[in-house]
């Protein structure tokens, strides 16, 4: 379960005030809003990449507001995948595990396991250059899932994909959500995407977070 309790976030001249929401364990929540409305600001705060000025972030009953990103046990898929250009795909998956405290051997084994599950074995020796949009998103999702988190944040995971790749990644995410009973927060500007994916639909408008 994710609870945001009256959080206030400031980023330069931009701010969000007194944002509160509860996402029950195992539910798929989609956060909509126009570009610049603060969607990414919220997801970065949940992941620990941006400090909140006040309020609390609670995950499965634990106050993580002041914990480092690696201590929150959240899988994060940033916008457009954002893979490390100098690492092979195998190294990226291992890195995701090591960051969460896995030892070297367990990290290697888990990297192979998640690569098999997401059908990216053939990419393990490659670096990101030249991968298709769908391949990048599969790798980014695999990296987020490598450490077996129970909560996943995804920032516009489908926005840069062609129609075929978008359908493929949608089905993959749905399957993983159901199989692993993950709690998911998915940011998008697309109403169609929200209708397709979301069990809980939220909208950020004029600094207010509303149910739809």
CATH of the domain at 13: 3.40.50.300
* The pLDDT of residue 36: 84
- Over residues 136-153, the mean pLDDT reads 92
The pairing of strands 28-32 and 2-11 is unpaired
Helices 133-145/89-99 angle, 10° precision:
30
Given a cut of 80, is residue 64 above it in pLDDT?
yes
Sheet hosting strand 208-211, strand order edge to edge: 74-77, 151-155, 183-188, 28-32, 200-205, 208-211
Q: Which residues are CB-contacts of 162 (< 8 A; sequence separation ≥ 6)?
A: 133, 134
* The pLDDT of residue 28: 97
Read off φ and ψ for residue 161, nearest 5 degrees: -100, 150
Mean pLDDT of the residues in the chain: 91
Rounded alpha-carbon distances, angstroms, from residue 49 to 10, 52, 82, 170: 13, 10, 15, 26
* The pLDDT of residue 139: 93
Given a cut of 90, is residue 207 above it in pLDDT?
no
- Burial of 104: CB neighbours in 10 Å, binned 0-12, 13-18, 19+: exposed
The pairing of strands 2-11 and 14-23 is antiparallel
* The pLDDT of residue 112: 95
Q: What residue numbers bound the domain in which 103 lies?
A: 2-211
User: What confidence category does residue 6 fall into, taking pLDDT thresholds of 50, 70 and 90?
Assistant: very high
Give the number of domains in the chain. 1
**Tokens linked to 139:** 């790798």
């Amino acid at each position: 379960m994710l609870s945001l309790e009256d959080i206030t976030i400031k980023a330069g001249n931009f701010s969000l005030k007194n944002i509160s929401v509860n996402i029950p364990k195992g539910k798929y929540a989609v956060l909509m809003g126009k570009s610049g409305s603060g969607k990414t600001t919220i997801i970065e705060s949940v992941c620990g990449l941006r400090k909140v000025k006040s309020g609390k972030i609670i995950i499965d009953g634990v106050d993580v507001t002041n914990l480092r990103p690696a201590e929150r046990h959240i899988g994060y898929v940033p916008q457009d995948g954002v893979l490390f250009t100098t690492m092979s795909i195998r190294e990226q998956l291992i890195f995701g595990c090591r960051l969460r405290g896995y030892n070297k051997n367990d990290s290697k084994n888990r990297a192979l396991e998640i690569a098999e599950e997401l059908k990216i074995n053939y990419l393990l020796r490659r670096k990101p250059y030249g991968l298709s949009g769908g391949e990048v998103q599969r790798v980014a999702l695999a990296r987020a899932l490598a450490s077996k988190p129970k909560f996943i944040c995804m920032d516009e995971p489908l926005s840069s994909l062609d129609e075929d790749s978008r359908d493929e990644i949608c089905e993959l995410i749905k399957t993983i959500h159901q199989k692993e009973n993950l709690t998911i927060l998915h940011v998008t500007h697309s109403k169609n995407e929200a209708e397709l994916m979301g069990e809980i639909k939220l909208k950020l408008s004029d600094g207010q977070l509303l149910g739809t």
